[in-house]
Amino acid sequence: MMPVADSWRQPDRRFVVTGAARPRDIRDLMGRPFFALGHMARLEPLRYRSRQMEIVVEASAPLGMATIRDADILLWLTGQIVDALNHDLWVSRHVRFTPWRLFQDLGWADGTHQYRRLYGALARLAETRVTTSLRQGPEWREKPFAWISDVRISREDGVALTLPDWLMEMACDRSHVLSVDPAYFRLYGGLERWLYRLARRHAGRQKDGWRFDLRDLHARSGTLSPWRNFVIDVVGIARRQVVPGYDCKVISGGKQPVLRISPTVLPTGSVDNRVNPTVGQDVEHTIGHGAEIPLLTVQKASQHIVFKSGISPLTYITNIITYYVGDSGLSVSLPAARSGYGEKAREAVADRLVGVP
């Protein structure tokens, strides 16, 4: 009998989200440049290379690259998958859910603005192209993927989409996922969010925390901000102490400034297992020199990537929600918020074709 952790490999199944679940993050996505940090559309490709891996993220106009706020959807879906596996339920990379359920779990308000935010995030996640050597083998350049694909949105049945194999492999392995502080989803700044994910992955709940070389973090974040502005931003975040669950302090005086991150509340039981140092570590748990040293930092391309005009990878049901992607850009027809929609959405979780065994 197939283990539930491998059930997602069955091609004819669909995973229907029916209840609440705590969002989870994937270790390999934390502290690495997979998403744009800004709020403006990023069209410049993101290129990062270290001794251990190479990451290339590209996006097309007018949507731009998926942002770290858009990634909330992936964290939520990962949490749903982990919760189902914990209850010995089969899962699938083909997922169906109602916007109402996502809004409830992530603390989004149920209104037109949040539907617009959801549709924009889904569009960017579908349009963003990721190519990475991380867990991809020697032919990784031949295996690009989008964060989501085959997206369908309907008023009656909610959202249906397909997750990439690369993400499912890690989401279904409990050793690759970590819980997320609910306060994370209330952080507005992209850099604040990225620093939390970095801290959660490396510092975890360990008493001594970790130290990070700021020059290395500048490259690993994928930010377009100049070095000087990046340091100012990190110092400001450390001064305000806005990273939930962690104390941040910038230490200067050496060759390079260092960011020290330590948990504010220590566990009474066992702490997180130390991260397998795929990014390496040196003296005093400092990430940087001798560790994941960038060989090629984020590059600014001289030209934007332009895809052929036409229908985007998102497909839609007629007369419900429509996106048009062409020379004039993207336009959306949004459903008006109305009373009773949340209840109707809650009743729309049943998949008429297949269910979860």
Give pLDDT tens digits for 50-105: 888 899 999 987 899 999 999 999 999 999 999 999 999 889 999 999 999 999 99
> Is residue 271 a part of any domain in this protein?
yes
Range of the domain at 299: 4-340
Residue 110 in any domain: the answer is yes
* Cβ proximity of 318 and 311 under 8 Å: no
**The total number of structural domains that make up the chain:** 1
pLDDT score at 266: 64
Contact 61, 43 (CB under 8 A): yes
In a domain, 65, yes or no: yes
In a domain, 353, yes or no: no
Q: What is the pLDDT of residue 325?
A: 34
Residue ranges of the alpha helices (H) in the chain? 72-86, 99-106, 112-127, 165-171, 190-202, 214-221, 227-240, 341-346
The pLDDT tens digits for 254-301 are 778 999 999 987 654 433 443 332 232 332 333 333 333 333 333 333
**DSSP letter assigned to residue 328:** T
Look at residue 214 and tell me if it is in a domain.
yes
Which pLDDT value is given to residue 85? 92
Tell me, yes or no, whether 345 lies in a domain. Answer: no
Q: Can you list the residues of the chain whose pLDDT is less than 50?
A: 1, 268-313, 315-357
The pLDDT of residue 238 is 95
Q: Is residue 44 part of a domain?
A: yes
Read off the DSSP letter of residue 22.
-
Instruction: Please give the mean pLDDT across all residues of the chain.
Output: 76
Q: What is the pLDDT of residue 8?
A: 60
Is 216 contained in some domain? yes
pLDDT for residue 142: 76
